[in-house]
Amino acid sequence: MLFKPKKAKKADGFKTEVGRSEYDAKRILNDNTSFDVREAFNELKTNVIFSMTDKGTKKILVTSSFAAEGKSTTSLNLAISLAENNKKVLLIDCDLRRPNVGRLLQFDEKRGLSNILVNECEIGEALHKTKYANLDVVLTGSTPPNPTELLSSEGMQAFMDNVSQHYDYVILDTPPVNLVTDAVILSRLVNGVIIVCRQYVTEKKLLLSAVEKLRFVNARILGVVLNDVATAKADYGKYGYYNGTNNSTNIEKAK
């Protein structure tokens, strides 16, 4: 490997968000995760694997139609699930405006994707090991004044080409489609897109708008993940997956 991930520092700035952090911690796959939730992510993992027959590294973009629909927790849990399948996985937080992966993992790192793209650091300096075997992450790094320009730069293409040589799966956690254009721009660098929506939160018109914007740039939509589906047994809901082969039909099901 041309670069070696380092262990990221634990953050200590979460005391003011204890409730939020504890809630999100329960949503990340762990030894205490309920059977139905773990099986839902195993199903998502299986569907992703069989949906992507591309040779080489599988690059997956995870987005949503709007904010607070669960894309970051879904990105992380999908990455964990794939890593548990003995695959080398890299999760990249591409939400340079409102990063969330570092908070979910309680990592406190100043260097990340933005610093790589402006040549302030090497990839190895921003690449961090997690407590999950086979899973590394790149956080956002310093908040830039021009996120869209950085993500659409030749440097981003070069970065993706570089990391793709060393991982089986590269997962991009991106901003919501209807808020900024970042996810649409990044869709050209990946093999497929997963759209996350939340029961009783996602608006049908916004979901369809997100699909339309992605289709306009010929993005390959793998499917839709519906989370927080109310169940009697789960504390925080169940997850569902709709294959993207017939998007118009399956998007209707997602609402």
**CATH code, domain with 187:** 3.40.50.300
Lookup result for tokens 């990391």: 163
Residue 4 lies in a domain: no
Model pLDDT, residue 180: 97
| Ramachandran bin of 119, using left for φ above 0, alpha for ψ from -120 to 50, beta for the remaining angles | left
Distances (CA, A) of 53 to 47, 57, 182: 11, 10, 26
Distance CA 151, CA 132 (A): 27
Residue 81 lies in a domain: yes
Residue 226 lies in a domain: yes
Domain that holds residue 248: 9-254
Residue 199 lies in a domain: yes
Cβ burial of 21 (10 Å; 0-12, 13-18, 19+) is middle
Residue 72 lies in a domain: yes
Amino acid at 161: D
Task: Annotate 47-90 with DSSP letters as a single string.
Answer: HHHHH---SS-EEEEEEESSSSSSHHHHHHHHHHHHHHTT--EE
Residue 3 lies in a domain: no
**Which pTM was predicted?**
0.85
Distance CA 219, CA 244 (A): 11
Amino acid at 77: N
> Which residues sit opposite 242 in a β-bridge?
224
Instruction: Mark out the alpha helices in the chain (DSSP H runs).
Output: 18-27, 35-51, 71-84, 101-105, 113-117, 123-126, 147-151, 154-163, 182-186, 204-216, 247-254
DSSP state of 187: G
**What is the residue-level pLDDT of the chain in tens, covering all 255 positions?**
456 676 666 554 444 444 455 556 678 998 888 888 899 999 999 999 999 988 899 999 999 999 989 999 999 999 999 999 999 999 999 999 999 999 999 998 789 999 999 999 999 999 999 999 999 999 999 999 999 999 999 999 999 999 999 999 999 999 999 999 999 999 999 999 999 999 999 999 999 999 999 999 999 999 999 988 776 544 444 445 455 443 333 433 433
Cβ(27)–Cβ(198) below 8 Å: no
Distance CA 219, CA 20 (A): 33
Residue 2 lies in a domain: no
Model pLDDT, residue 16: 41
Distance CA 162, CA 160 (A): 5
Report the domain count for the chain. 1
Residue 211 lies in a domain: yes
Model pLDDT, residue 18: 45
Model pLDDT, residue 231: 61
Cβ(230)–Cβ(37) below 8 Å: no
Model pLDDT, residue 135: 98
